[in-house]
Amino acid sequence: MRPNALEAFNELRDQNILNLKGAKAAGKKVVGIYCSYCPKELVLAAGAVPVSLCGTREEPIAAAEKHLPRNLCPLIKSSYGFAVTDTCPYFHFSDMIVGETTCDGKKKMFELMQDIKPVHVMHLPQVADREASLKLWHSELVRLQDELEERLGIKITDQDLREAIHISSEQRRARMELFNLNQGRAALISGTEMLTVSWQVGFCVDQQEGIDLIDGLTAELRELAGMGYRVSDESSPRILLTGTPVGLGSEKVITLVEELGGLVVAMQNCGGYNIADLEIDASDTRDPLLLLAENYLKIPCSVMSPNQRRLKLLERMIKEFQIDGVIDLTWQACHTFNVESFLVADLVKNRMGIPFLQIETDYSSSDKENLRVRIEAFLEITSDNNR
């Protein structure tokens, strides 16, 4: 028994590209974004299609290394590699790119990318809870609005923004309802399936289509659960994946966990809970750009210093999802997540008494057998802990 609604997500990749081509032919503009901090509501309010361009595949990395240092995060190299080889249809169709100053590697990469496409870089403050940061981030949103209006030749009204906030909030609500199905001990959706859903809807031209597909899957899973449907038995180690973003093509750790009998029941990362957990109150009548600025600054990314929100969110998720073990994934050369792993380990192992494993890797499969041995041993510990 497998939910029928899952099939639609597998077919979505080809469909999304066709829809994007159709939208371009009909005169729609496309804006490529690389980070969760970029408020896609502004792009939607501009009447454009936001597409996530984060590189998650190994293939274009060799081309990127002709310009970028080899010792750089694979996500940055893959993103740049797709751009420089023009092998990503979403990059190809983008009329402009919105970058942001998150980590050092990414912000410097955007300087090189400007030679390929117009890039607008948002300057992200790196301390979240400060009035001055909110002011700066709000002004950066105003600057992005001006840029979109000028480049796309449109005018964004408050009403456009409110409608975009409403549709994005709906999308987050749909994701949260799906993700939260796994809070029960018998999980209803595997990590691999969760990733596929989350990844593919990110490329939907029609945002409502993505919401409807997720809602359809959630409803079907609830119905199947009543008939005894589960993706694992109750003794399978329940793993929470935290750390750097994962997408289709860079999911080797999730695949290994699930091949070896564990289950990734929750993801505390971009694409997982980090974004779905943001709550923008659509009924708040204050300046919509201020609402966006306030909320986006709450994203618990390791580029923030300090980043207590991540630890609080992790603690909450470990309890709510009845987690047996935490894997902290760090892409090679990602200093912010790598250093922060010490604090994550302290919370998980020392304060909560839950087995913890940090994995530092890249997009290649060269360390797959080594990872298999480490993950197998880790799942054994989590099982022992559970008995």
- Whose tokens are 């993700």? That residue is 179
Candidates 148-156, 198-206, 219-227, 328-336: pick the segment binding ligand SF4 (CB under 6 A). 328-336
Q: How far is CA 109 from the centre of its chain?
A: 20
Tokens of 87: 């092998």
**Are the C-beta atoms of residues 314 and 268 closer than 8 Å to each other?**
yes
- Closer of 202 and 245 to ligand SF4 (Cβ): 245
Beta-bridge partner residues of 329: 243, 359
Candidates 167-175, 307-315, 331-339, 379-387: pick the segment binding ligand SF4 (CB under 6 A). 331-339
Told to check if 75 binds ligand SF4 by CB under 6 A, we report yes
In the window 135-174, what residues touch ligand SF4 (CB under 6 A)? none
- Closer of 187 and 278 to ligand SF4 (Cβ): 278
- Interface with ligand SF4 (CB under 6 A), residue from 37, 91, 199, 273: 37
- Interface with ligand SF4 (CB under 6 A), residue from 64, 122, 164, 334: 334
Burial (CB count within 10 angstroms: exposed 0-12, middle 13-18, buried 19+), residue 195: buried
Tokens of 28: 């729609």
CA gap 138, 132 in Å, rounded:
10
Per-residue burial over 29-40, b = 16 or more CB atoms within 10 Å of its CB, e = otherwise: bbbbbbbbbbbb
Task: Tell me the number of residues near ligand SF4 by CB under 6 A.
Answer: 20
Told to check if 297 binds ligand SF4 by CB under 6 A, we report no
CA gap 209, 16 in Å, rounded:
11
- Closer of 58 and 215 to ligand SF4 (Cβ): 58
- Closer of 218 and 336 to ligand SF4 (Cβ): 336
In the window 224-263, what residues touch ligand SF4 (CB under 6 A)? 244-245
CA gap 27, 162 in Å, rounded:
23
What 3-state DSSP class applies to 361?
strand
Beta strand pairing status for 119-122 and 96-100? parallel
**Smallest distance, ligand SF4 to C-beta of residue 71, A:** 11
**Smallest distance, ligand SF4 to C-beta of residue 221, A:** 27
Query: In terms of residues, how long is the chain?
Result: 387
- Interface with ligand SF4 (CB under 6 A), residue from 267, 299, 311, 329: 299
**Smallest distance, ligand SF4 to C-beta of residue 100, A:** 7
Told to check if 270 binds ligand SF4 by CB under 6 A, we report yes
Tokens of 384: 């022992």
**Smallest distance, ligand SF4 to C-beta of residue 305, A:** 12
Burial (CB count within 10 angstroms: exposed 0-12, middle 13-18, buried 19+), residue 319: exposed
**Smallest distance, ligand SF4 to C-beta of residue 243, A:** 8
- Closer of 144 and 217 to ligand SF4 (Cβ): 144
In the window 81-100, what residues touch ligand SF4 (CB under 6 A)? none
**Smallest distance, ligand SF4 to C-beta of residue 38, A:** 8
- Closer of 128 and 156 to ligand SF4 (Cβ): 128
Closest to 231 (Cα-Cα) out of 196, 201, 261, 198: 261
CA gap 339, 330 in Å, rounded:
10
**Are the C-beta atoms of residues 363 and 58 closer than 8 Å to each other?**
yes
Told to check if 76 binds ligand SF4 by CB under 6 A, we report yes
From residue 341 to residue 360, the character string flagging contacts with ligand SF4 as x (rule: CB under 6 A) and all else as - is: --------------------
CA gap 321, 324 in Å, rounded:
9
Residue ranges that bind ligand SF4, judged by CB under 6 A: 35-37, 73, 75-76, 102-103, 105-106, 244-245, 270, 299, 301, 303, 331, 334, 336-337
